[in-house]
Amino acid sequence: MNRDRAALEALDREDPLRGFRQRFALPEGVLYLDGNSLGALPRAAMARLERTVEEEWGEGLITSWLAADWMEAPRRVGDKIAALIGAGPGEVIVADSTSVNVFKAVTAALSLRPERSVILSETGNFPTDLYMMQGIAAFSGGRVRAEAVAGDAVLGRLGEDVAVLLLTQVHYKTGAVHDMAEVTRAAHAAGALVVWDLSHSAGAIPVDLNGAGADFAVGCGYKFLNGGPGAPAYLFAAQRHHGAAVPVLSGWLGHAEPFAFEDGYRPAEGIARFLCGTPPVLGMAALECGVDLMAEADMGALRDKSLRLGRIFMELMETHCGEFGFTLVSPREDARRGSQVSFAHPQGYGIMQALKERGVIGDFRAPDVLRFGLTPLYLRYGDMLDAVLQIRAVCETRAWDDPRWKVRAAVT
């Protein structure tokens, strides 16, 4: 395939998603390959936040809980996210962080399998998922055990003691994709429930929770959904579990009648029982803009472009950086790759810092992985060539070999 600049620019001219880029406020001279970590700023969010702060908060004050529909935002935005992940209305709620939602979903699933004791996951899963499992086990006083096995051993480990399987659909480091339908089927056949972490899936690949028969899911608002730093997360619970799944984080807003101020907790009907405390209104307003924008895009076109960006990036790396010792850690096969391409390199940390100084922003994940997020809404095919040529320049000049980067920063 011809991957010279003219060929890539021709692809950009024909790109059905090309109009989306101008809907984001992207800094000049920056190639942003980190939308899988923190999505870019939708222009609509700037105006929306101004209005929410000045009018709704400043003038409406507390009346805005009703007048500006703040109270309904967790359900309203949840329904919009539901449409992106194959869930139905009333099955997704926006609340809390992904970590807290992992806790809520796993404990709810445990409440549906009281005779079983194991929470199962894969080694190398995103740490917060593993840590939450470990915290739940520690708190359970011996009732529950947390166990992680290698990815290819997960299905074989399913057995009569496994209550919940917790997996991230698209791996945060490698971008490898689990087959949600197949894994869910196997878990159900073994009598277990599944909690899917969709942090790197929603807005990145087509997701069909109900098509796969999923039980619970959680995910981040600030990555591919472009909801802003620290955006609230979301939780999916399949309708069939709403009645019996008992929330352990039994906060007042998940009560059947919060404003009855009863002493005893009675869970709300439906997804609202997974609310806990007061929703973060400003974060929710920004998130809604990101979700609305994503909802305008055709998921088929998005996936096509994401995969093609990935193929082009990998090919260009082979052509221009083949001699510099990068090892591809993402699956080459389209069906198994999410919306990122990652390479391992012994000097990965220094290379990424040198790239950032040159305006190419990706990130580094210990011990040696350079992650490049490919976000089809605002990246261009030509950007792939520019990024790879900068990587080449960093390697040729050994710009990574700088004393400033011998000590790692708090955020990598």
Ligand X SMILES: Cc1ncc(COP(=O)(O)O)c(C=O)c1O
Question: Rule CB under 6 A: which residues touch ligand X?
Answer: 97-99, 126, 128, 168, 172, 197, 199-200, 220, 233
Q: Which of 15, 34, 129, 197 is catalytic?
A: 197
- Nearest residue (CB) to ligand X, 131 versus 324: 131
Q: How far is the CB of 294 from ligand X (least distance, A)?
A: 18
The span from the CA of 210 to the CA of 361, in Å, is 35
Please provide residue 72's backbone torsions phi and psi, each rounded to the nearest 5 degrees: -85, -10
The span from the CA of 318 to the CA of 309, in Å, is 14
- Nearest residue (CB) to ligand X, 234 versus 381: 234
- Is 358 considered catalytic here? no
The span from the CA of 268 to the CA of 247, in Å, is 10
- Nearest residue (CB) to ligand X, 228 versus 385: 228
Q: How far is the CB of 99 from ligand X (least distance, A)?
A: 3
Q: How far is the CB of 251 from ligand X (least distance, A)?
A: 17
Q: Which of 173, 223, 273, 380 is catalytic?
A: 223
Q: Which of 3, 305, 365, 371 is catalytic?
A: 371
- Is 223 considered catalytic here? yes
Q: 3-class SS at 363? A: strand
Q: How far is the CB of 3 from ligand X (least distance, A)?
A: 30
Please provide residue 264's backbone torsions phi and psi, each rounded to the nearest 5 degrees: -95, 140
Q: Is the Cβ–Cβ distance between 149 and 118 less than 8 Å?
A: no
- Nearest residue (CB) to ligand X, 11 versus 132: 132
- Nearest residue (CB) to ligand X, 117 versus 168: 168
The dihedral through the CA atoms of 101, 102, 104, 108 has a sign that is positive
Q: Is the Cβ–Cβ distance between 193 and 149 less than 8 Å?
A: no
Centre a 10 Å sphere on the Cβ of residue 231 and count the other Cβ atoms it contains: 26
Asked if omega into 367 is within 30° of 0 (cis), the reply is yes
Residues in the chain: 412
> At a CB cut-off of 8 Å and minimum separation 6, what does 61 contact?
none
- What single DSSP character describes residue 54? I
Q: Is the Cβ–Cβ distance between 368 and 301 less than 8 Å?
A: no
- Nearest residue (CB) to ligand X, 8 versus 183: 183
The span from the CA of 384 to the CA of 33, in Å, is 9
Q: How far is the CB of 37 from ligand X (least distance, A)?
A: 6
Q: Which of 24, 103, 222, 236 is catalytic?
A: 222
- Is 371 considered catalytic here? yes
β-strand partners of 365: 369
> At a CB cut-off of 8 Å and minimum separation 6, what does 290 contact?
39, 42, 45, 221, 225, 226, 227, 228, 231
For residue 18, what are its two tokens? 């090309």
Q: How far is the CB of 200 from ligand X (least distance, A)?
A: 6
- Nearest residue (CB) to ligand X, 199 versus 342: 199
Q: Which residues are known to be catalytic?
A: 126, 197, 222-223, 371
